[in-house]
Amino acid sequence: MLIFHIVYTIALTISLVLSILVLVLVWLFHFGGMSYGYYKFHRRTVSNNLKELPGISIIKPLTCIDSNLYENLKTFFNIKYPRYEILFCVQEHNNDLINMVEGLRAQYPHVESQLFVGSQQYSPGDELSKSETTDIKNPKIFNMLSAYEKAQYPLFLISDSGLMMREDTLYDMALCMIDDVGLVHQMPFTCDRKGFAGSVEKVYFGTQHARMYMTINFIGINCVTGMSCLIRKETIDRVGGLKAFGNYIAEDYYIAYEVAKQGWKIRVAPIPALQNSGDYSLSIWIERMIRWCKLRMRLSPLAYIEPLQECFSSAILAGIVTNYLFEWNALVVAACHILLWFLFDYFMLRITQGGPLPFSKFEFAIAWLVRELSSFYIYFKAFTGSSTIRWRGKEYRLGSGTRAEEVQSSPLIPVPTIVVETIPTSPTPSSA
């Protein structure tokens, strides 16, 4: 009986201490994320040496057309930056996509650009199947290989297809690339898009995601999403190019890891990445979040306790702990916790947006509630689901560290790369 009492007391004490630690941490995440976001986002870096900025090769991996792609790609031709090239990578032969890119390139002949059509499904008997690139498992890396090899500038930007770019963003990112910095990344966020799904996505990327992304980056832990990353080319050349990261689906994590390992600093850009894909809905967002969560589970065991840093789970914890310690009413404490959290999230979103929100406070409240509740479904599906993920129509089995194997389909086989090049007909306009 005495033993039982001792064990019970020890277990209770440990649970209490851990619960208090979690509660302290979640509120520190709020303060950390909000302060760092406030300090970082939408702040102009002033510099007069625009002409001295290094040239940048922008790599755009593309797979298919969505209803906003044309407008999104167009924004890359209107960037104000003295020297840059755009390297379009079309994964599989897709005439409509190739024509779209070609049309844009013809419209902006003064912007340096190239088009690569570099990968195709495996065809048995193809002589090229013995190529050294057949062991590349990450399709995004595979898609970018030829462009990377042709990139002519000392910095390159990996920029996902769903992004639109403001005229001054590249300039702002380049200004962050000071002497000891090796990688500048944009925190994923969204454009103002119509409909409730657009609001939920904005609320997610601007609240819970922004809070954790900014806090983790503030404390210097590797947390880089590869959606929009400006990288010193020499750091990747040193390990043999992008193909060095081809075995992992979370190539972004490993690229940042490598840059940091070489002693370079990593910086968050002042403007968050503006995702503006035309294909968006609640189910697409949930599927993507489950995929990301599966990646994080294979990158860090801490991903398994992520549910604890959600509003409702920590509210329950706060209610139980304060009721046990001070006999406070658990429901009242939990309600206050939720209300305060909701207000903090609203301010975090305003900071990330850098201005007024495109929806009413009422819509924010509903989108926030949907996001909070769906997070448990996302964790549940990721934790209990299979080790496979679906990405752009293909299935991959994830091993440890997100090492990938494509399921039930052939490995990516290169076809002779088609390169279409434009030599600028007039000097690139300077934005000075």
Ligand X SMILES: CCCCCCCC/C=C\CCCCCCCC(=O)N[C@@H](CO)[C@H](O)/C=C/CCCCCCCCCCCCC
Q: Among 223, 229, 274, 315, which residue interacts with ligand X (rule: CB under 6 A)?
A: 223
Distance CA 154, CA 230 (A): 10
Which CB sits closer to ligand UDX, 206 or 226?
226
Q: Among 18, 178, 221, 407, which residue interacts with ligand X (rule: CB under 6 A)?
A: 221
Q: Among 112, 160, 172, 252, which residue interacts with ligand X (rule: CB under 6 A)?
A: 252
The distance from CA 382 to its chain's CA centroid, rounded to whole angstroms, is 18
Which CB sits closer to ligand X, 108 or 257?
257
SS3 64: coil
- Residue 341 in the binding site for ligand X (CB under 6 A): no
Distance CA 57, CA 83 (A): 9
- Evaluated on CA atoms 426, 427, 431, 432, the torsion sign reads negative
Buried b (16+ CB within 10 A) or exposed e, 92-113: bebeebbebbeebbeebeebbb
Which CB sits closer to ligand UDX, 123 or 360?
123
137 contact, one of ligand X, ligand UDX, none, CB 5-8 Å limit per kind: none
Distance CA 193, CA 280 (A): 9
**Closest approach of ligand X to the CB of residue 13, in Å:** 19
Integer CA distances (angstroms), 4 to 8, 12, 13, 15, 400, in order: 6, 12, 14, 16, 39
212 contact, one of ligand X, ligand UDX, none, CB 5-8 Å limit per kind: ligand X
Of the candidates 165, 153, 133, which has an alpha carbon nearest to the alpha carbon of residue 60?
165
The set of residues, in sequence order, having a beta carbon less than 8 Å from that of 364 and lying 6+ positions away, is 199, 203, 346, 349, 357
**Closest approach of ligand X to the CB of residue 18, in Å:** 9
DSSP state of 112: E
140 contact, one of ligand UDX, ligand X, none, CB 5-8 Å limit per kind: ligand UDX
Which CB sits closer to ligand X, 322 or 375?
375
Integer CA distances (angstroms), 364 to 7, 287, 349, in order: 46, 22, 10
392 contact, one of ligand X, ligand UDX, none, CB 5-8 Å limit per kind: ligand UDX
Per-residue x/- mask for ligand X, residues 4 to 23, rule CB under 6 A? ------------------x-
**158-217 positions binding ligand X, by CB under 6 A:** 209, 212-213, 216
Distance CA 417, CA 321 (A): 62
SS in 3 state form for 245-272?
HCCECCHHHHHHHHHHHCCCEEEECCCC
Which CB sits closer to ligand UDX, 56 or 250?
250
Of the candidates 22, 11, 13, 10, which has an alpha carbon nearest to the alpha carbon of residue 318?
22
Tokens 């639109």 -> residue:
164
Which CB sits closer to ligand X, 27 or 342?
27
Which CB sits closer to ligand X, 78 or 300?
300
Of the candidates 159, 165, 160, which has an alpha carbon nearest to the alpha carbon of residue 72?
165
63 contact, one of ligand UDX, ligand X, none, CB 5-8 Å limit per kind: ligand UDX
- Residue 260 in the binding site for ligand X (CB under 6 A): no
Residue 126 bears catalytic tag = no
**Closest approach of ligand X to the CB of residue 227, in Å:** 7
213 contact, one of ligand UDX, ligand X, none, CB 5-8 Å limit per kind: ligand X
309 contact, one of ligand UDX, ligand X, none, CB 5-8 Å limit per kind: ligand X
The alpha carbons of the chain give a radius of gyration, in whole angstroms, of 23
328 contact, one of ligand X, ligand UDX, none, CB 5-8 Å limit per kind: none
Which CB sits closer to ligand UDX, 94 or 262?
94
Exactly one of 66, 168, 180, 252 is catalytic; which is it? 252
Quick one: which segment of 78-86, 178-186, 275-283, 299-307 binds ligand X (CB under 6 A)? 299-307
**Which residues form the interface with ligand UDX (CB under 6 A)?**
61-63, 91, 139-140, 143, 160-162, 225-227, 249-252, 288, 391-392
**Long-range contacts formed by 103-107: CB under 8 A, 24+ apart:** 104/70, 104/73, 104/74, 104/77, 105/420, 105/422, 107/77
**Closest approach of ligand UDX to the CB of residue 87, in Å:** 12
Distance CA 133, CA 425 (A): 35
The residues carrying an active-site annotation are 252
Binding region for ligand X (CB under 6 A): 22, 25-26, 209, 212-213, 216, 221, 223, 225-226, 250, 252-253, 292, 295-296, 299-300, 302-303, 305-306, 308-309
